[in-house]
Amino acid sequence: MNAVAEPRKNVMAAEAGGKMRVIADYKGGRSSSSSSKRSCESRAAQGDLPSGIWDKIKNHPCYSEEAHHHYARMHVAVAPACNIQCNYCNRKYDCANESRPGVVSEKLTPEQAARKVAAVATSIPRLSVLGIAGPGDSMANPKKTFKTFELVATVAPDIKLCLSTNGLDLPDHVDTISRCKIDHVTITINMIDPEIGARIYPWIFFNHRRYTGIEAARILTNRQLQGLEMLTNRGILCKINSVMIPGINDQHLVEVNRAVKSRGAFLHNIMPLISAPEHGTAFGLNGQRGPTAQELKALQDACEGQINMMRHCRQCRADAIGLLGDDRRAEFTTEKIMAMDVEYDLKARRAYHAKVEDEREAQIAARQEELAKIAGEMDEIRLLAAVATKGSGLINEHFGHAKEFQIYELSTLGVKFVGHRRVDLYCQGGYAENDRLASIIRAINDCHAVFVAKIGSCPKLNLTNAGIEPVEKHAHEFIEKAAIAWFRSYLDRVKSGEIQHVQRGDAAIRQGPLISAA
Amino acid sequence: MPFKIISAQCTSCSACESLCPNVAISEKAGSFIIEAKRCTECIGYFDEPQCAAVCPVEGTCVIDTSLPRYQGPI
Ligand code: SF4
Ligand code: SF4
Ligand code: SF4
């Protein structure tokens, strides 16, 4: 019993100290830059996180911002039924090129799902996590969900298991979750005030009947918070997802943040509402808008310090596979995996992961080195930069091929990941190059620079005219190291009067069809 | 009058299937159907017809007015 209770105690202790950090953190890195190299490298990534928790999350692409450069996750769509209705969800709609939570093309049986996990883990050795997140609610489909976890634990014992739920049925399944050795659970909590809840959830199905309005929202919030407490009491890590809906729960999410933190949640992920009219959701149809990039960041910043904020969520679909912006779902259709010869090689996977760990350490060491050079300098300037990358923490993507940009905030304190922006327009053919470029500029319009492996002369000119500096000279270098180096040169240029520092405007979060990403 | 499923609207989410107290619902060719003979409109079990209460698409689990009302156990 003590062994399970332990991590929770650690969370509380660390939080009480007000400095728990999951995400690779420049503050932790700076203060330790003089201590022995190796321990300081891993400490920089771990931050002040208790080792018990760090061990659980360090290879988890969704929980550790730093790990998501290196590890891949997959979802299997075994849970199509849902027990509530959200105004941002329409489970009827599924386009092959579209990607939203709650949407999936292919539903699997638990047996097919287990086979798929083995096939994917063999083809993509970076795979470290299997999640069940719907397309409905995993806990509204308890038989299928737990059967899948059981089968996967047998065929692929090194894969971490996690699930996402709306929380309504969660309290009834906490014992099974703990028995199945699921150590990460995500609960979507959008409100703790039933009046606000009534504007988000038209109905819930509970105890064999449909509840609506404030009564429905009250039951839902009580069950969500109860489930959260039960899980954290058992030492199961809980992440909270919240959808930011301007004018409905945007201010209120600060209170939600406090409520979930006090119940032991260790990470809070505030995501922008996706509400294009063509998705056919209630919000999409009644014109409810999503937040802009700066509104989202301001809310995330307001909640930071209370609890770790997750910034790298890509709101992936319930059957996404792969790493970063590179969704490989199409390679693993049921037809293809049934025909595949799968031999699960645990040893090869372990060796591969050891290599990945070396990669990570090299990256952290490079950042430390560059940070040491900026140490002691103070400047007010704080700006955003976009990076084209396909993983491993490197600037290794061509500007024209990037499906998304990672956004970093640079200051003399260091470099901090703040999010990503998708830019592809796959669903709509026939876009002229210029339109595409304009939409990319809109997506990163709040950035001062964009780091790329390569860029053509025409987009280069357009970016420069728009006030965004294209930076090619750090191609194939580690992102953070390069970003700090560029930032130093930027400050020098400002000081020498060569350039003038101006604030940038806001950016748009893409609302069109989304391509899935890790 | 038993319930029926308008198959053109069904998302095949399966939510209704496991809730039917009479095991009247099953999957056929990608859509879900109700076996009229087995459906009791949930009378005697629940206050609300379970399939209609859980279905995410309004107007998909509806009463089949062409058939007589359920009479209760004989
Ligand atoms: S809980 Fe998930 S699947 Fe269910 S209605 Fe909400 S978003 Fe859709
Ligand atoms: S009304 Fe009740 S008995 Fe009839 S099909 Fe629906 S769930 Fe089954
Ligand atoms: S609940 Fe509705 S949409 Fe889902 S399977 Fe049943 S009839 Fe179809």
Alpha-carbon gap: B56 to the closest alpha carbon of chain A (Å): 7
Render pLDDT for B2-37 as a digit per residue (tens, 0 to 9). Answer: 999 998 889 888 999 999 999 999 998 778 999 999
Q: How many residues does chain A have?
A: 518
Ligand nearest to the CA of B41: 2
Rounded (10°) angle between helices A2-16 and A213-233? 110
- At residue B50, φ and ψ (nearest 5 deg) are -60, -40
Render pLDDT for A434-472 as a digit per residue (tens, 0 to 9). Answer: 677 888 888 888 899 999 999 988 888 989 998 999 999
- Which residues of A fall within a CB distance of 8 Å from B19? 208
Confirm whether the ipTM is greater than 0.90.
yes
- CB neighbours of A267 closer than 8 A, spacing ≥ 6? A22, A63, A237, A239, A240, A307, A308, A309, A310
Task: Tokens for A212, please give them.
Answer: 């609506």
- With CA atoms as reference, the chain A residue closest to B18 would be A141
Alpha-carbon gap: B39 to the closest alpha carbon of chain A (Å): 16
Which of A84, A94, A224 is the best mutation target for the ligand 1 pocket, counting ligand atoms within 8 Å of the beta carbon and taking the most?
A84
Shortest-distance Cα residue to atom 2 of ligand 3? B55
Rounded to a whole number, what is the distance in angstroms from the first to the last CA of chain A? Answer: 35
Residue given tokens 């590179």 in the structure block: A326
Average pLDDT over residues A341-356: 81
State chain A's mean pLDDT as an integer.
77
List, as one string, the DSSP characters of A71-115.
-EEEE---B---SEE-TT--TT---TT---TT--S----HHHHHH
Query: Are residues A80 and B48, on separate chains, in Cβ contact within 8 Å?
Result: no
- pLDDT-derived band at A50, boundaries 50, 70, 90: low
Query: Are residues A209 and B53, on separate chains, in Cβ contact within 8 Å?
Result: yes
- pLDDT-derived band at A210, boundaries 50, 70, 90: very high
Residues near ligand 3 (Cβ within 6 A): B 5, 10-16, 32, 54-57, 60-61
List, as one string, the DSSP characters of A126-186.
TEEEEEE--BS-GGGSHHHHHHHHHHHHHH-TTSEEEEEE-SSSGGGGHHHHHHTT--EEE
Query: Cα of A41 to ligand 3 centre, how many Å?
Result: 52
Render pLDDT for A326-336 as a digit per residue (tens, 0 to 9). Answer: 566 677 777 77
Render pLDDT for A253-271 as a digit per residue (tens, 0 to 9). Answer: 999 999 999 999 988 888 8
Sheet holding A160-165, edge to edge: A309-310, A267-272, A237-244, A184-188, A160-165, A127-132, A72-75, A321-323, A326-327
**Residue that wins the pLDDT comparison between A378 and A96:** A378
Q: Is the pTM of this model over 0.90?
A: no
Query: Cα of A248 to ligand 3 centre, how many Å?
Result: 29
Render pLDDT for B51-74 as a digit per residue (tens, 0 to 9). Answer: 999 999 999 999 998 887 777 665
Task: Tokens for A209, please give them.
Answer: 């009947």
Shortest-distance Cα residue to atom 1 of ligand 2? B41
Q: Is the pLDDT of residue A83 over 90?
A: yes
Nearest CB neighbour to B56, from listed A85, A107, A143: A85
Q: Is the pLDDT of residue A29 over 80?
A: no
Which H or E run includes A438?
A: helix A433-443
Average pLDDT over residues A232-247: 93
Alpha-carbon gap: A296 to the closest alpha carbon of chain B (Å): 29
